[in-house]
Amino acid sequence: MSLQKINTRTIVLIFMIVLAAAFRLLSYKYQSTLSNFTPVGAIALFGGAYFADKWKAYVVVLLTLIVSDLIINYLYFSQIELFTSSIWMYLCFAIMIFIGTLIKKVHIVNISLASLAGILVHWLIMDLPWLHFGIKLYPNTLTGYAQSLVAAIPFEKNMVLGDLVFCTILFGGFELATRKYTVLRTNQKLAV
């Protein structure tokens, strides 16, 4: 595989991830109706599935999410704050990237299962009541955890819808592009 082929493929993957992440700015503007309807889960799965060098998936996806968080925080608070999002949230996205690396063949069933697994991880981790230091919405008990999980269902529903839309755009768009442009193809199987 030529260096040009690798570079073109990597550049296209990065461009698609950054372009999808830009949609987060719309979710900021329409936060009441688009809460959690974002491309972040789809971006993580997409990066994990398509980068031949898996370290690139982690670097590109997590860096893109951090930069978009900085922009969104600036829009909210008119100041740049690094890592205002919980480290647990970035851990969830890293796990989603790993789940994306497990996709062996791009197929609607495989992507759907990976998406649901990523959403489940996000839901189970991010709604732990003892992770939200300074915010005491639910007691730090199993009952409080159950209450937190139930309260999060509408947000997770939006995450499912966001993954559905953005996985379709990212995976479908890249698969169509690889059929048309041979420079985007790789001889390697996904998730090697």
Q: Which residue has the tokens 């595989």?
A: 1
**The pLDDT of residue 192:** 39
Side chain identity at 126, as an amino acid letter? M
How many Å apart are CA 43 and CA 47, to the nearest integer?
A: 6
**The pLDDT of residue 149:** 87
Residue boundaries of the structural domains of the chain = 3-184
Q: Are 45 and 169 in contact (CB under 8 A)?
A: no
**The pLDDT of residue 21:** 92
How many Å apart are CA 126 and CA 82, to the nearest integer?
A: 19
pTM of the model: 0.85
How many Å apart are CA 146 and CA 64, to the nearest integer?
A: 32
pLDDT tens for 64-73 read 998 888 888 7
Q: Are 4 and 12 in contact (CB under 8 A)?
A: no
pLDDT tens for 45-79 read 999 999 988 999 999 999 999 888 888 878 777 77
Instruction: State the first-to-last Cα distance of the chain, in angstroms, to the nearest integer.
Output: 16
How many Å apart are CA 3 and CA 97, to the nearest integer?
A: 25
**The pLDDT of residue 113:** 95
**Ranges of the chain whose pLDDT falls below 50:** 1, 189, 191-192
